[in-house]
Structure 1
Amino acid sequence: MPPLDGTERPGAEDDVLAVMPRLAQLSNVVSRGRLVEHAMATTGITLERPAFGALVSLHLEGRPLRISEIADRLQVVQPHVTRQVQQLERRGLVRRIGDPGDRRVSLIEPTAEGAAAADRYARTLIGWFTGAIAHWSDEDREDLGRLLARFADDVTAHLSVLGDTPPVE
């Protein structure tokens, strides 16, 4: 496959190809495995995964977001997020507030109950991941954090080559 922008170094495709099975393995464990089910169960509430994803995204952001911002973070289309937010509103886990900069727009923020549930979920995941790498050296844990952050930032930036169109539901 030819380089998209001519800046890839020789052998880079082989390096990425070698790690792809591990990326797929990690993606499956995090998004589809029992870990997510376990973390969701610790919250004490029953929600569909997409709604929970929206709630956790809001909680981790630490500030109210527009529906479009939630959709961007989740990489889904806006109508999908609107449905999830409506479900969360009916359950009393989020509320709409006015945007001080634009009265035509609503911002979404977690309620105290929603924030507590998202926090329990996040703490369960953090505890699990912390336990999984507890035997690693401090240097290895720091390297993981540094390289994973760099990888996520670079992949996100490189996606701009494809445009800003989120995937279809």
Structure 2
Amino acid sequence: MVPNDDDPLAAVLPHLTQLSNALNRGTLFERTVAAAGITLERPALAVLGVLRMADQPLRIGEIATRMQVAGPHATRQVQGLEQRGLVHRVADPHDQRARLIALTPEGTATADRYMRTLLSWFTAAMADWPTRDREELGRLLGRMVEDVTAHLASAEAPEGP
């Protein structure tokens, strides 16, 4: 399908690509972890972020799903975080055979420090934006992420008979 230049979304895609590149190139991440005094790699910090945003222990499979990575990748990251004392395993209250991954107090503090530092960077970058514009961006971006995620999930779902 050829993009339609008349579609307002056609103008959004280059901006999304540019923002994605800016966020994923490493510069912002490196500055943020340095300012926060954190010595974790990006994937390990992503696990802490997923757990912190969930505000509850999760199964490794759920962590992988939320990170959009394969299960073994999430397992390796969790194992490294366990060795550093940032996460630990707890019994699943609904299935005593299963284990959930929970943040330790140090893991919570690390995730919070990273998020506060990152938020302060974005706050400074958008300091001239009126509060209403920042609120509208948050609302629209949240809606976009939900819709894109749902659309991806429906496209990946196996077709019925």
Q: 1:58 aligns with which of 51, 64, 77?
A: 51
Work out whether residues 44 and 117 of structure 1, in 8 Å CA contact, stay in contact via their aligned partners in 2.
Answer: no
Pairwise mapping of residues 1-169 of structure 1 onto structure 2 (< 5 A)? 1=1, 14-163=7-156
Q: Deviations over 1:58-89 (max 9, x none)?
A: 11211111101101110001111000000000
Scaled by the length of structure 1, the TM-score of the pair is 0.85
Greater Cα offset, 59-68 or 130-139: 130-139
Instruction: State the match for 1:7 in structure 2.
Output: none
Uncovered stretches (5+) of structure 1, i.e. residues with no partner = 3-10
Stretches of 4+ aligned residues off by more than 3 angstroms: 11-14
Scaled by the length of structure 2, the TM-score of the pair is 0.89
Uncovered stretches (5+) of structure 2, i.e. residues with no partner = none
What is the count of residue pairs matched by the alignment? 158
SS for the counterpart of 1:42 is helix
Higher relative CO (Cα under 8 Å, sequence separation at least 6) belongs to: 1
User: What code does the residue aligned with 1:104 have?
Assistant: R
The Cα RMSD (Å) is 2.1
SS for the counterpart of 1:52 is helix
Identity %: 55
Work out whether residues 66 and 107 of structure 1, in 8 Å CA contact, stay in contact via their aligned partners in 2.
Answer: yes
Distance 1:163 1:45 in 2: 36
